A and B are shown apart, each in its own frame.
Chain A
Amino acid sequence: MFRYVANRLLLAIPTLIGVAVITFFVLRVLPGDIVEAKLRGDGTTVTADVIERERARLGLDKPRSEQFVDWMKGLARLDLGNSMWTGRPVIEEVGARFEITFQIALMATLIGCFIAIPLGTLAALHRGTWIDTAVRVFAVAGLAVPSFWLGMLIILAMLWSIGTLPPLTFTPIWQNPAANLWQLIWPALAVGYRFAAVLTRIVRSSLLEVLGEDYIRTARAKGVIESVIVRRHALRNALLPAVTVIGLEFAFLLGGLVVTEQVFSLNGLGKLFVQSVARHDFTLIQGMVMLFATFYIVTNLVIDLVYAALDPRVRYQ
């Protein structure tokens, strides 16, 4: 297993280098640069001299090839550089906001699983009945409702029913769990619905497939109670494809929370990303894209490991 993990991580390096090269050069096509946005943003007149000096300070006056080599050298040392806007290290900027986004993503995943697994099972067991249809409508609707709009509706419902909004300042969970959950459960619900919708469909179709297998017929012939068949024989195998989807959707959420954070005015990774794109903060965008890509690759690896642990038929190769 160690060899397998090492191998996979080595294979990730060319992909990450590719991501780095593409991001770097695609960003340099952006019209305008951060210095103009930063210094002229508020309408004040700045002399060309000041702009040149700021550019030199950020290293933007160097030729692109040199900037690229500098950045890649930093990456090799796992140093993502400093934000061009605030001057703080990218890692610090991201770290300050990672917690909030990560927690929402995790909560949304849990909500998704808690809704999807029972619903998908129910639909599969009652295939073709009104229950199946109802679950199908629930799932297709979940894919259709934009999560930022659902977030707005949740806020609206809160205003109408209890007259208050979720708090705007973030409290870490170890300081005050109740306040923390009360703030983050709403965005997690808004995103969790979509998550549940995707997962319900997978659970249903995969359970239906498994229920048609020979070993289920064997179990029935042996006289095993139906509930045991479903729980022990069918669901265990049917949840395998669900693991893949849970992992992929979770990785997607880290970047996919962009709009929902906006609606709930949360200062998470999504907001930071939109902000840095608007500010042309190249190093911050590059750093975040690298982190998103790394996270995606690592999640994929973890999914495969979990898969292998759950299913003895899967072998490392």
Chain B
Amino acid sequence: MTDTTLRPAKRSSWLRNPVVDFCIKQPAGMVALLVLLVMMFAGVFAEYIAPYDPVRNNLASMLQPPSWKHLLGTDPFGRDILSRIIYGARTALIIGLSSAFVGCTIGAIIGAASAYFGGKIDNAIQRCIDLMLSFPLIVLALVVVAVLGRWLVFGIDINLILAIAIPIIPQVARVIRSSALVIRNLPYVDAARIAGYSNTRIVLRHMIPNLMAPYLIMLTAYIAQAILLEAVLSFLGLGVAEPVPAWGLMLSGSASDFFEEAPWIVIFPGLAISLAVFAFNLLGDALRDWLDPKFKS
């Protein structure tokens, strides 16, 4: 008797685990999550997984088609494409995650502050955001990259991260501001105010937790955008610099001279970019459906 009453309780507590709940309700999101886990695993353990050195030239094996020896073929310098893609995952993740995190967090703080203070401050911040939005994203990133130059810390270009983060800030600030405006006028915020809580407590304990949903959704979406922008900048020769393996970089330079005879040097890095961006976008979509109570059924 006790057995039968205990078991369902146990199972439902296991089902209440948010990750499990997410995977059951959003199968597409689960697939995206799996793809991203594989990518992260590859990025973190690149040294142990990659079959070849991604940087060393090997002129004896130039432009080889995919074979058992080189699963995805080799590039004009004889470097193994699979190994470069695996190491490229690390570059894409570091730059994508950090620039989206920096951009979204600064944007969210600006947006929430703008909504909370209201009045003149809100107006001034909105003017600045309008101003930043009137630069096309890529134009802004290009100018920032050119102005800041490179600033390498442990082989990571901090200025590239900033160049990708800055165009994200105004867009996130705008969305978070509109969510924060709604929350600010909800009865529970009024109730908290009547209860005599301080402004800081209301913002931190009552508003911020309710802004986490839009923040997380935007974060995943902008990681995808950041990876794409990094690929574009690297392709133009303004992002990650050789010899660091990066997907966008693999498509630039000599790639366009050889891709008629060796299409694999163009196809696979592009697939890697697409798959990563696809997975983050899908995850963002699934997270939105899962977190937004309107879509819960």
A149 & B270 in contact (Cβ 8 Å cutoff)? yes
B135 & A145 in contact (Cβ 8 Å cutoff)? no
User: Is B34's beta carbon under 8 Å from chain A?
Assistant: no
8 A-B residue pairings within 8 Å (CB atoms):
A27-B143, A31-B149, A144-B224, A144-B278, A148-B232, A256-B136, A262-B235, A293-B135
Report A-chain residues with C-beta under 8 Å of the C-beta of B72. Answer: none
Pick from B143, B267, B277: contact of A144, CB under 8 Å = B277
A296 & B260 in contact (Cβ 8 Å cutoff)? no
A15 & B134 in contact (Cβ 8 Å cutoff)? yes
B147 & A259 in contact (Cβ 8 Å cutoff)? no
Interface residues on A, range: 35 or more
Contact with A along B248-289 (1 / 0, CB 8 A): 000100001001100100110010011111100110010000
A156 & B260 in contact (Cβ 8 Å cutoff)? yes
A252 & B136 in contact (Cβ 8 Å cutoff)? yes
A16 nearest CB neighbor, chain B only: B134
B228 & A146 in contact (Cβ 8 Å cutoff)? yes
Interface of chain B residues 73 through 123 with chain A (CB within 8 A) = none
Known A27-B147, A144-B274, A274-B142; contact A256-B137, beta-carbon cutoff 8 A: yes
Q: Shortest CB–CB separation between residue B184 and chain A, in angstroms?
A: 23
Report A-chain residues with C-beta under 8 Å of the C-beta of B130. Answer: 15
Q: Shortest CB–CB separation between residue B192 and chain A, in angstroms?
A: 32
A297 nearest CB neighbor, chain B only: B134
Q: What is A's interface to B at a CB cutoff of 8 Å?
A: 14-15, 18-19, 22-23, 26-27, 29-31, 140-141, 143-146, 148-149, 152-153, 156, 159, 251-252, 254-256, 258-259, 262-263, 273-274, 277-278, 285, 288-289, 292-293, 296-297
Main secondary structure of the interface of A (DSSP, over half): helix
Q: Shortest CB–CB separation between residue A296 and chain B, in angstroms?
A: 5
B233 nearest CB neighbor, chain A only: A259
A229 and B269 CA atoms in complex are apart in Å by: 46
B130 nearest CB neighbor, chain A only: A15
Interface of chain B residues 115 through 167 with chain A (CB within 8 A) = 127, 130-131, 133-139, 142-143, 146-147, 149
Q: Shortest CB–CB separation between residue B267 and chain A, in angstroms?
A: 8
Pick from A146, A251, A254, A277: contact of B142, CB under 8 Å = A277
B281 & A143 in contact (Cβ 8 Å cutoff)? yes
Known A31-B149, A141-B274; contact A152-B235, beta-carbon cutoff 8 A: no
Known A255-B139, A273-B142; contact A149-B251, beta-carbon cutoff 8 A: yes
Q: Shortest CB–CB separation between residue A265 and chain B, in angstroms?
A: 9
